[in-house]
Copies of this chain bind each other. A is one copy, B any other.
Amino acid sequence: MIRVQAEDFDPGAELAAFSTGNGKVGGICMFLGLVRDYLGDHPGQGAGVNAMTLEHYPGMTERQLAAVEAEARDRWPLHAVLIIHRHGRLEPGERIVLVATASSHREAAFQSCHFLMDWLKTKAPFWKIEHTDQGDQWVAAKEADDDAARRWDR
């Protein structure tokens, strides 16, 4: 299931709805992405971030996320997939994204969740602009994210 929304979500409630405990699911892997309060890769390195705004491409976002979900289901035996991604203005500590996968096997749950995040990072049309005391700044894409996604090439 794919949800793209401005509103916050409750990971616990999402997880409770997701893990129906139907006796076939052996493992659930969940990733939760949060807004950090600093620029760059390390705390204290750059300026503080007061907030960020996530712009997206409505329509294409849902389309690309659905394609990513389909790819994951094709690669691993999954009982359920959930992707929630927020857009709009977000402050440090706020939730940005949740990805969860349920499988009979732990390895499939871990790998598919990791894959979904890596692909989402390079394919889902979202763009972050960070609001700092020094002004606004569009976040540049990271080489490391491309490398992470390429791991899953086949």
Residues on A facing B (Cβ under 8 Å): 10-13, 15-16, 19-38, 41-43, 92-95, 104-107, 109-110, 113-114, 117, 144, 148
A109 to B, closest residue via Cβ: B31
Contacts of A95 in B (CB 8 A): 21
Residue among A16, A21, A109, A144 with max Cβ neighbours from chain B (10 Å):
A21
| CB–CB A110/B31 < 8 A | yes
A13–B92 CA distance with the chains assembled, in angstroms: 21
A148 to chain B, nearest CB (A): 7
Question: 6 tightest CB-CB pairs across the interface, nearest first?
Answer: A12-B12, A21-B93, A23-B37, A23-B92, A28-B32, A30-B30
